Structure 1
Amino acid sequence: MEMACFNGSLSPRLTCDRPRGRHAHCRAALRYLPQRAASFPGRLARGAAVGRGRRRLAAAAEPQTLQEQPARTEGSGAAEACSKLILVVGGTGGVGQLIVASLLSRNIKSRLLLRDPEKAASLFGKQDESVLQVYKADTRNTNDLDPQMFEGVTHVICCTGTTAFPSKRWDGDNTPERVDWDGIRNLVSALPQTIKRLVLVSSIGVTKYNELPWSVMNLFGVLKYKKMAEDFVRNSGIPFTIIRPGRLTDGPYTSYDLNTLLKATAGERRAVVIGQGDKLVGEVSRLVVAEACIQALDIESTEGQIYEINSVKGEGPGTDPEKWKVLFRSVQSN
C-alpha cells in the first residue's frame, strides 16, 4: 500500500470563460449581498423538477466562509460561479451538507437532487437560483431522472448513503441495495458523457467485505453494494474519482442551518492521510472528506483514481489546492 500524510488554505484559481456582462447569473453573483442566512463505513450510506423546472429559493444567504478559510473577494466568487455547475447528489447528508455549504461560501454554482427539496431551504437558507438550484428526484427511481436535470452540469459529487444495519433510515425501501447500488447505477446511467468529473464517496473496506472484521459490517451488504457501485462508475466512461473515507467523525450536522455549517471545524483532526489499495484503517472528519471531494474535481492527476482517506491530529492542507495536489499525487498508482 502507498500512503501519504499531509500534516502542515482557499485559493481557487477558477476563471469565468464567458464574455463579461453577457450572463445575468454572473452579474447576480457580483451582487451577492449579505442577508440573514437562514460512521462506519462512510456515510452508510428523471421525475419532474419542482414547478416543472428549477426550484427557486429566492433571496441570498450570507456569504460567509468556512472557518479556517481566508476571506474571499466578490470578484473571485463571481468567476467561480460562472466557470462550473456542480451537481451534488446527497446534499443534505452529513458530508453532503458540508460540501454544499463550502460551495456556497466560494460562490460556486450548485444544483441539488433531493427527495425532499424543503430540506435545502432549512439547511442552506434562501438562495437565488444563480447560486443554488434544487430539483426533486429520487435516484432509486429511474423515472425521476429527467435529462433536463443534468443540462449545463459540468461536475458531479455523489455522497448518498444509508446505514449499514437496519434502522429507521431503512423505512421506505432505503436499504443499502436500493441506495448504494440501484441509486448509483441509475444516476450514472442518466448522466451525460460530457461530465468533466464524477466524484463518488464510497467507503474503506469495500474490497474486503468477505473478510473479518469487514464481513461484520457487511452483514446486510453495504460494502458489497458500494463496491458494485464503484465498479459501475469505473466502467461508465465518465471521468471519475472515488473517495473511500474511514469512519466518519464531526457531526453529522443534520437540521442545522448554513451559519452552523460554515462555522464547522475539524478540531484538531486536520492532518490528512491518503492511501490506495484499500489498506488504510481509521477515521476521518466529514469536513476533510467534503474538501477532498471538492478538490478532486479539478486536480487532473486524480482522474481514474481511488483513494482511501483518514484524518489525524495536526495541521493539514486546509483548502489549498497545491497542497491537495501534492497529497493526491504522492500516492497515485502507476
Structure 2
Amino acid sequence: MAHAPRPTVLVTGAGGRTGHIVYNKLKERADQFVARGLVRTEESKEKIGGAADVYVGDIRDASSISPAVRGIDALIILTSAVPKMKPGFDPTQGGRPEFYFDDGAYPEQVDWIGQKNQIDAAKAAGVKQIVLVGSMGGTNPNHPLNSLGNGNILVWKRKAEQYLADSGIPYTIIRPGGLLDKEGGLRELIVGKDDELLQTETKTIPRADVAEVCVQAVLFEEAKFKAFDLASKPEGTGTPTKDFKDLFSQVTSRF
C-alpha cells in the first residue's frame, strides 16, 4: 500500500493564543501533516519558536501572504481583529471599559478584507479545504461584541464566512462560544447552529478543544461544506469527545 502524501496545512494567526495551539498540534503530528504557520511580525515568529516553516506576512496585503500559501493543501484561518482597552479605566469606579482598534486593524480590514485575501490566495493555489474559525453571536446584529470600539466585529466575520461558503472551495466554518484557557480533551463537545447554544448553560469551550476540532476537520470528509457552533459540557459531565467523525456527522447546516 502506497501511503498518501501528508497534506501541507497552513495556520494563519499562528501567533495568537488559539492559532499557536493549532500550529503546535500540527507539528506534533508530523507523521500526518506538514505544518506551516503565518504570523504578522518577526517578533511573533520568534515567540512561537522561529522555525523555518513560519512565514511572516500581512493578511491585509494579498501579495505578502502568497509565499506562505503556495503549495498548501489546507488552510486554517485563525486571524482576528483584537480590540484594545482604552487606558485609564478604573474598575473600582463602576461603569464599563471603553475599547478601540488600532488604525488599519479594524474588523473590516482584518476579519473581512484580510480573510477575503486569504480565501482568494488559497483558491488560486488550488487548496482542497479551508477551515475558518469565526464566533458565535453572528446572527444578532445587536450583539454586544459588535459595539466594542464600534468595530462590528461579528458582522465582518459573518461576511467573510459567507464569502468562503460561496467560494466553491470545500470549507468548514467553526463558530466557538466563549474561549477558556483550560486543558483540552477532557470535555464532551457540543455542536449547534444559529446561536441556539447561546440560550443554554453550555456556551463556552477550551481553546485547546477548538484547536483540536480545526485539526480533525482536515482529516474527515464529514467536516466539509459545513458550518456549526461549538461549545462544551463542563468538565466531569458527559463523555470526553474522541470520535470526531461522529461529531462532524451530527452537523447538518451548510451555513
| TM-score, normalised via structure 2 length | 0.81
- Does 2:131 match 1:203? no
CA shift digits 1:71-107 (9 cap, x unpaired): xxxxxxxxxxx51100111011111011011111111
64, 74, 77: which one aligns with 1:158 = 77
1:271 aligns with 2:223: no
Corresponding letter in the other structure for 2:167? S
Amino acid in structure 1 at the alignment position of 2:215: I
Measured against aligned partners, the alpha-carbon deviations of 1:251-307 in whole angstroms (never above 9, x if no partner) come to 7xxxxxxxxxxxxx238x622111123312211110110011111112112211101
Equivalences for residues 105-116 of structure 1 within 5 A: 105-107=28-30, 108-116=33-41
The amino acid of 1:331's aligned partner reads V
* Counterpart secondary structure, 1:95: helix
1:217 aligns with 2:134: no
Given candidates 70, 80, 92, the residue that maps to 2:15 is 92
The aligned residue for residue 227 of structure 2 is: 306
* Distance change (3 Å), C-alpha of 1:169 and 1:113: farther
User: Which 4+ runs in 1 deviate beyond 4 A?
Assistant: 164-169
Are 2:75 and 2:122, in contact at CA under 8 Å, matched by a contact in 1? no
Cα distance between partner residues in 2 of 1:206 and 1:166: 22
- Aligned AA for 1:140? R
* Matched ranges for 1:169-184 at <5 A: 170-184=101-115
Instruction: Tell me which residue corresponds to 1:294.
Output: 215
CA shift, 1:311, in A, is 1.5
Q: Which has the higher contact order (CA 8 A, sep 6+)?
A: 1
- Aligned AA (2:140): K
CA distance in 2, matches of 1:333, 1:116: 36
Q: Secondary structure at the match of 1:192?
A: helix
Offset at residue 165 of structure 1 (A): 6.5
**TM score, norm. by length of structure 1:** 0.63
Amino acid across the alignment from 1:279:
E
In structure 2, runs of 5+ residues without a counterpart are 87-98
Cα 1:206/1:164, change in 2 over 3 Å: farther
More strand as a share of residues: 2
Counterpart for residue 316 of structure 1: 240
In 1, the alpha carbon distance for the partners of 2:62 and 2:50 equals 29
What secondary structure is seen at the aligned counterpart in 2 of 1:308? Answer: strand
* Alpha-carbon separation, structure 2, partners of 1:279 and 1:222: 20
| Equivalent residues of 2:15, 2:47 under 8 A apart | no
C-alpha deviation, 1:119, in angstroms: 2.2
Distance 2:8 2:225 in 1: 21
Name the CA distance, whole Å, in 2 between partners of 1:209 and 1:333.
20
Within the candidate set 68, 72, 78, 1:149 is matched to 68
The aligned length equals: 228
Conservation of the 8 A alpha-carbon contact between 1:117 and 1:134: no
Could you say what secondary structure the match of 2:60 adopts?
Answer: coil
**Runs (5+) with no aligned partner, structure 1:** 1-14, 18-81, 252-264
Q: Does the aligned pair in 2 maintain the 1:91–1:99 contact within 8 Å?
A: yes
